[in-house]
Structure 1
Amino acid sequence: MKVAIVHEWLESYAGSERVVEQLLELFPDADLFAVCDFLPEAERGFLGGRRPVTSFIQRLPRAQRWFRYYLGLMPIAVEQFDLSGYDLVLSSSHAVAKGVLTGPATLHVSYVHSPMRYAWDLQHQYLRQARLDRGVKGLLTRWLLARMRGWDHASAARPDVIAANSAWIAERIRKCWRRESTVVHPPVDIAGFPFVAEKGGDYVVASRMVPYKRIDLIAAAFRTMPGRRLVIAGDGPEMARVRDAAGGAPNIAFRGRVPQAELVALLHSARAFVFAAEEDFGIGMVEAQACGTPLIAYGRGGAADIVRDGETGVLFPDQTAESLAAAVARFESLAIAPEACRANAERFSRQAFRAGMLALVRAGCAARGMPAP
């Protein structure tokens, strides 16, 4: 079986690249395609020496710095990949990769991180945050996003099989594209977060300080709970706002950006890991569970897939400080076993991801009368 793997762009080794890494583990002889490749040499290890086939965007002026500004050209770019000689195409898509063109003899399985967020329900939030909600630039951006939305919907008919990274994304796929999908949770490095049963008394949050993560909400909630200590790890553009929300409360400690070893130590000792974002999935929550640490999380998005309410953590229904404070009180009335948290995390291992994707590929092959890998 001749296999191609298509990815959007290679810039850093992050969440979607970990999916590509596991697809390459499944199909080590696969050819790799990407709209552009500007991955630093120090982060290329997961590619196993491969140099992907790239599109014309790779050669456009200042592409390494500005490739995202070429978003409007990416549908054309991804459609230029010649995949006619492949039996199986696997795309890893959060923007355009699922729009590759394949023939009737080719099975196309697309792993969808999300429909194009900034073109659909998050458009208004994106425009506000980018300060493009008014003026000529804003008008041009809205026009571009309308065109991208139309292409995104039309090209969603191209994959034969769609995998969604959470039930939340499966619902977004149904809403935006009117397609059904199968949930295959993304791979998490469970082994990198060893289990520790003994816990301390601090609540912990570790995150980039960006608006949608709502770290300010967590700080505001713990400001009203002086008897409970919160440790905040991370940095970013929202740091000043988070500090304002904390109001100098002595029970809230800021650690800034911490190295991996210190992050793992924080998760090991935490009484609970607190998460207030509406996230597509939320790998950080699974990493905390792998350490045996319970979760207190906002109950929309990927958290609803991860947290077993009352067994491995607590979900709170409203994205407010009051709702979070009530969840903390409820959490403290429960006896959540660290062993249950670790067992829950195993559902999201790399092995589980590979097994889920291989099952989808084999089912797709069987439906088309193709030999299965």
Structure 2
Amino acid sequence: MQKVLISGAGIAGTTLAYWLRRHGFAPTVVERAPAPRVGGHAIDIRGTALDVVKRMGLLERLRGLSTDMRGMSFVNGAGKTLVKVTEHTLTGGLTGNDDIELLRDDLTDVLAAAAQEGVEYVYGDRITGISQNSDGVRVTFAEGEARDFDFVVGADGQHSAVRSLVFGAEKQFSHHMDTYLAVFTVPNFLALDRWQTFHMRPGSMTGLYSARGNTEARAMLGFQSPELDFDRHDVEQQRKLLADHFLDHGWEAPRLLREMASSELYFDSMTQIRMDRFSEGRVALVGDAGYGPSPLSGQGTSLALVGAYVLAGTLAAAQGDHRAGFAAYEREIRPFVLKNQALAAMNQRKQTRFAQWKQIQSMRMLPYIPFRSRVMAAAMRPLAEASNALVLKDY
């Protein structure tokens, strides 16, 4: 039984572990965090990715965890509603379709529960060295003893350590999308019921949406900026950066900043990872580590799910021959990746100050537009086409 080390216990890593075990491999997952990560933003499962979770027997379970958003509103700095929209939401796209929007930690909990049997998990450790030879890969760790594996897969996100060790420095592959995003959990102090509310100012946005049966909420702070120099492991530095930026933003910004001080914080740039290959020898990348499309695409989760399924399947179809398996993985997943990454570039063009103003004005006109559901469906067509651009094989 061939041994595969997966770096990262997120969506891509746990999905890959599940499918590798199904195909007869022995997966080990190493995760830097001391325990499964909590918090995070609402994410979406769309198109081909829905077929992946269906094949895992998880589709109905995940539908039961849906945020089930009814719509959204935009307010001015004093909290007065400017426009209400029920046809779509900022985080989830069209309402009432087959897509599933749910909280990230709800999805990772379900995936981890499905990928327990036959999978070894090592929390609180990280890879520090990777040495390949003709027979396998020697891996060293920050805490544990060195171990040998047949293959290694980096599923460790946008700032992948595996990618840096094997392919080179992150700056070669990361493309900043001129935007930063913070997400954290707060009490649902606006009593939102499956609803999202946003306040936009030129170049920045604050938002709040209900979560987990409306007992809690997720706050979002986003702003446009050239690339910033900050320590991504220094949470207090990040909180200060956000406080300085949003102190005079208006609406509920002061309350959100107070809540942020005691909440688990996700803060990072919207960055796209672009690589000319997803494998090197016995090492491969999956999900954000190899082709993160950035949150502007709305497809990071779906790419992680689909990529993990395809990687495990092609490696199995090649009977463990990594050369053939990784080459097939590259052929099958790259066109899907490129179509979905293109969505982020398209949405980035909508982030200018004038474009934001125009977007709000257009939404204010929605109630007066005949057949507005068709208009919204047409606007979302590129997303629908990209998310369905790959048909899963039966490996």
TM class by smaller structure? 0.3 to 0.5
* Structure of greater relative contact order (alpha carbons < 8 Å, 6+ residues apart): 2
| Structure with the higher helix share, 1 or 2 | 1
Q: Could you state the TM-score of these two structures normalised by the residue count of structure 1?
A: 0.33
